[in-house]
Structures are given as structure tokens and as C-alpha cells.
Amino acid sequence: MHGIDYPLLLRSMVRGMGTSLSLFGLTLAITLPLGLVISAGRMSRNPVVRNSVRAYLLIMRGTPLMLQLFFFYFGPYYIFGIRGADRFTMAVVAFGLNYAAYFAEIYRGGIESIPIGQREAAEALGLTRSQTFLKIVLPQVLKRVTPPMGNEFMTLVKDTALANVIAVSEMFDVAKKAASGSVSAAPFIVAGAFYLAMNSVVEQAFRFAERRLSYYQ
């Protein structure tokens, strides 16, 4: 049994945090625009599009993210006999498609919460559909979706730890290896402090956003 080399642990944890932040950022780069597209499909008047999107949402929200990580990484080989992309890329794909489903429903809830009378009033005033959306609907939607979006951002920070199930060396993976080598829970405590610090930044960012959007009631 070996003691913990804390300087080495912290350096390794910082490298792991870099991987976690990369996974976090790339997931959002996929999720934020894709969620909007999916929400539009969910609200489509075309039953084929609408029902297809509903099936996608059910699968993504109804199965564990861990299972989806296994599927996207191992599925191409076991189903088609071909090697998939690298572990980190498959983790980004799995996270992006999973979180897009949740973001899509947040977007949809925000858009559908705006009374139809506001759109009718804007039309009566001569505003185009794009002007109505950008000047009247969008600011209110942003105000209403900010709190649930903040929750999803914070959950995503924590969920990056699941990437270790396909051997992506992020923060939790570093802590797990350090703990097994030292037979100590200290690495997990350090990892917890790193996750808490990251989510503190996220929380502050969304508090700022909510204050800026407080004008729209």
C-alpha cells in the first residue's frame, strides 16, 4: 500500500479536468443547436416527423446514459463488425445525442408557454414572423428556459464522470485509479472538490444570466 502523492494527484486531476471540460464544451456545442432542431420537429404538424422525434426522445430519455455510451462505442463493432471512432469521440456523440433530447423539451416548453395572443398582436401591428420571434418570443423564451438549462448544465458537469465506463481518462477515472493505488478515499474527495468548483462557476454564470434577463417577465 502506498501513500498519496498529492502534487502528482493534483497534476493528474488538472489533466483529467481538461478532458472533462472538453467533453462538457463539445457536448454543449452539439446539444444547444441540435436541441432546437429537435424541438421544432417535436412541434411539427407532420405526424411522421413528430412521431419520429417522439420515439427518439423516448429512447434517449428512457435509457441510461451509461448504456448509450456502451452502445455507441461497442455497437459498431458488435453489430457491423467495424471499429468505431476513438473513445473520446464516441463519448461526445453519446452525450450530445442524449442531452439534445432534454434540451429539446426545455426549448419546447419555453416556446409553447408564450401565449398565442402575443403572436396575433404582433401580426396585427405588422411585424413579420421572424421579427415577432426575435423581438417578442425569443427574449421571453430565454427568460423561461434559463433555470432548467442551468440545471442541465450542472448535471452535465457531473455526468462527464460516466465517460470513464469506456475508459475515457477524465477526472473521476483519475480519482478512481489513484484511490485503488493508495487504498484511500482522499482522491474521491479531491475529485468532488473539483466538480463542485466547476459547478460553482456554472451556477454563477446562470445567476448572472437570470439577472440580465429579469427585465422580461
CATH of the domain at 162: 1.10.3720.10
Which three cell numbers mark 4? 498519496
For 74, residues 6+ apart whose C-beta sits below 8 A from its C-beta are: 84
Kindly report the CA angle at 140 between 37 and 96, in degrees rounded to 5? 30
Q: Residue-wise pLDDT tens for the chain (217 aa)? A: 456 777 777 888 888 899 999 999 999 999 999 999 999 999 999 999 999 999 999 999 999 999 999 999 998 878 777 776 789 999 999 999 999 999 999 999 998 888 888 877 888 888 887 888 788 888 888 888 999 999 999 999 999 999 999 988 888 888 888 887 777 788 888 889 999 999 999 999 999 988 887 765 5
Q: Give the total number of structural domains in the chain.
A: 1
CB 34 within 8 A of CB 196: no
Give residue 201's domain range.
6-212
pLDDT value, residue 1: 43
For residue 200, is it within any domain?
yes
Helix axes 186-212, 171-182, angle to 10 degrees: 160
Does residue 1 sit within a domain? no
The whole-model pTM stands at 0.87
48, part of any domain: yes
